[in-house]
Amino acid sequence: MCHSFIVNSHTFIVKYHKFIAKCHTFIAKCHTFIVKCHVLKFLWHYDTIKNEDNENEEINSKKIYKEVRLEKANHLVVKSNDLNEAHYRLTTSEQRIILMMVSMIQPGDDDFHIYRIKVSDFLELLGIKNQQMYSEIKKLTKGLIEKVLIIKKPKSELQLSWFSSAEYFDGEGYVELCFDPKLKPYLLGLKECFVRYNLRNVIKLKSSYAIRIYELLKQYERIGRRTFEVEELKQILGIKPDEYDVYNHFKSRVLSAAKRELEYITDISFEIKEIKTGRKVTAIEFIIVANKGKEAQQLDMNVVKMTVMDSVIASMGDDDKKMFEKMQSHYQLSREQAYDIMTEVLPERGREYVISVLSYCRKYHERKRNTGVECQLGAVTISAFKEGWHTQPSLFEKEKKLKTEQQQIDVREKRLKDEKEIEERLERFSRIDKLMSTLPEDKVIAGFLPYLQENAMYLYTTFYEPGMTIKKMQDSPMNICLRDYIEDFYMTPKEDNSST
């Protein structure tokens, strides 16, 4: 019996080992299956990531504007009329960046992309070989984010910046820019009320005012004429209220200068018809003229620049001509360098700033020479204008400037006060004359003669004649006294002396 038990136990143990072996086999197969699942999961995850990367690349390729060769590109600038008439002021370089970006927008775009501008293409389009412009691009884009444009709406006024972001890639030679989203209605999907022109018509214009005036007139090219109130045009161009107070200055430095540039460079030009109120020019009518057969991209820009330069110099005032010649003779600038300062820096920063920079350059050059350091005054002057050097005004100069400004304010206030007094006096005279016409003439004369004898006997003995009518008295020096009498006895309330 014991032997039988041992045999059975051995049989059980053998079967148990077989069972364990099968379990190990099953577990091994399970491990193999799990490994295969992990491999499949990894491959699926890899494919997913790859597809996402491809999708991201596709999205980025749609967002980033793929540059084309400039000479083959048909760059059109298309903007809504509301944006075209917005109030803002940009430098010439800032406007060129904006226009390049606008020209990248395609007709089918329903949203803004990230617009990439190669600095080399930008410089090529402008015809600039100065490598310092690479660093200037950063300053330009920063300035554009900070500057505000104002779009007038029927019931509101929209204030916004041109860009929502600007990213400059050091060493890569390009900058990526994004328009502010609120500009979408004014740049995308335009079907009506818009202006369109070729970028090459304006990209070589040197005056920021010439670019804006070109756009405003291009909008009305088919109509052939456009009228602006003088103050309205100044607001659109971003000219400050205290700039170009004298119309002739505004005409010579803004309108005439723009006319010369448009005539020599673009496909349109204009003539001016001045509209006056009394003796003052209050409005301007532009007669738009097509420059037939003249395409900007076909012009020899060096010849154009020299022609425009000669014309602008000839039209300068005596003070501007003296400054222009002094820059060449005293500050060793070339004719072109001096011209650029006179046409770009002077209108933007003012005469006081230009004189301050020139004075600083002279002192800086003399100080360097006294310490034995050789430097060229011309190079110093150009660097000073590019980088914004100038002497800080002394306390005396600040006080003098404040005193001058206060004097100007006082003069304006006195003029306004005098004008107000004159208006009040004329209004008073009108009320008196109106009342006098309703009074009995005999009663007025009977009361006026004693009043005249008491207050102005000289007038009575010199100018009064028996039988004079009120009309004759009004036409004589006695008129002032007559008005005073009417005001004192018929218009001034009498004190109530009745007992209470």
Distances (CA, A) of 352 to 358, 390, 400: 10, 11, 14
Q: How far is CA 100 from CA 75, 148, 202, 207, in A?
A: 8, 19, 11, 17
Of 171, 161, 71, 76, the closest CA to residue 119 belongs to: 171
* Amino acid making up residue 51: N
The residue among 151, 152, 169 whose CA lies nearest residue 161 is 151
Provide mean pLDDT across the span 429-446: 87
Could you tell me the two tokens for 168? Answer: 């400059």
24 or 411, which is more confident?
411
The whole-number pLDDT of residue 69 equals 40
104-118 pLDDT, tens digit per residue, is: 888 888 888 888 888
Please give the biggest Cα pair distance in the chain: 178
The model's pTM is: 0.54
Per-residue pLDDT tens over the stretch 468-487: 888 888 888 888 888 888 88
Give the residue among 418, 440, 428, 439 at the shortest CA–CA distance from 480.
428
CA 247 to chain centroid, in Å, comes to 20
Query: What are the pLDDT digits (tens) for 289-327?
Result: 988 655 444 444 444 455 556 666 766 777 888 888 888
Task: Assign 195 to helix, strand or coil.
Answer: strand
Residue pair 343/206 in contact (Cβ under 8 Å)? The answer is: yes
pLDDT at position 32 over 80: no
- The span from the CA of 201 to the CA of 203, in Å, is 6
More confident residue, 214 or 199: 214
How big is the chain by its Cα radius of gyration, in Å?
41
51-99 tens-digit pLDDT: 555 544 444 444 454 443 444 445 789 999 999 999 999 888 888 889 8
Give dist(CA 37, CA 35) in Å, integer. 5
User: At 496, is the pLDDT very low, low, confident or very high (cuts 50, 70, 90)?
Assistant: very low
Q: Work out the burial of residue 494: count CB atoms within 10 Å of its CB; fewer than 13 is exposed, 13-18 middle, 19 or more buried.
A: exposed
Give residue for tokens 């060793």: 332
- Total number of residues shown for the chain: 500
**Nearest of 81, 80, 101 to residue 90 by alpha carbon:** 101
Pick from 498, 491, 497: nearest CA to 427? 491
What is the pLDDT averaged over residues 115-138? 68
- Please give the Cα distance from 447 to 432 (Å, whole number): 16
- Over the range 207-229, which residues count as b (16 or more CB within 10 Å of their CB) and which as e? bbbbbbbbbbbbbeeeeeebebe
- Backbone φ and ψ for 59, nearest 5 degrees, come out as -65, -45
More confident residue, 416 or 248: 248
Give me the pLDDT at residue 399, please. Answer: 67
Q: What is the mean pLDDT of residues 186-197?
A: 89
Report which of residues 276 and 55 the model is more confident about: 276
Measure the N-to-C terminal CA separation of the chain; round to a whole number of Å: 153
Share above pLDDT 90 across residues of the chain, in percent, rounded to a whole number: 17
Of residues 489 and 86, more confidently modeled? 86
Contact 269, 262 (CB under 8 A): yes
Question: Of 199, 156, 189, 183, whose CA–CA distance to 83 is shortest?
Answer: 183
Residue 180: name the closest of 291, 286, 65, 102 by CA.
Answer: 102
> Could you give the 3-state DSSP secondary structure of residue 103?
helix
Q: Which two tokens stand for residue 289?
A: 């003229």
Give the model's pLDDT for residue 62.
43
Helical (H) or strand (E) element with 50:
helix 2-63
What pLDDT score was predicted for residue 282?
93
pLDDT at 58: 47
Confidence of residue 133 (pLDDT cuts 50, 70, 90): low
Q: Is residue 225 pLDDT above 90, yes or no?
A: yes
Q: What is the mean pLDDT of the chain?
A: 78
Residue-level pLDDT at 8: 67
Confidence of residue 236 (pLDDT cuts 50, 70, 90): very high
Q: Between β-strands 280-290 and 115-118, what pairing exists: parallel, antiparallel or unpaired?
A: unpaired
Cα torsion 408, 409, 414, 419: sign: positive
Mean pLDDT, to the nearest integer, of 29-51?
61
pLDDT at res. 500: 35
Cα distance between residue 237 and residue 86, in whole Å: 9
Average pLDDT over residues 316-340: 84
Distance in angstroms (rounded) separating the CA atoms of residues 337 and 350: 17
Whether 50 shows a pLDDT value over 80: the answer reads: no
**Count helices and strands in the chain by DSSP H and E runs:** 21, 10
> Is residue 393 very low, low, confident or very high in pLDDT (cuts 50, 70, 90)?
low
Report the DSSP pairing between strands 157-161 and 148-152. antiparallel
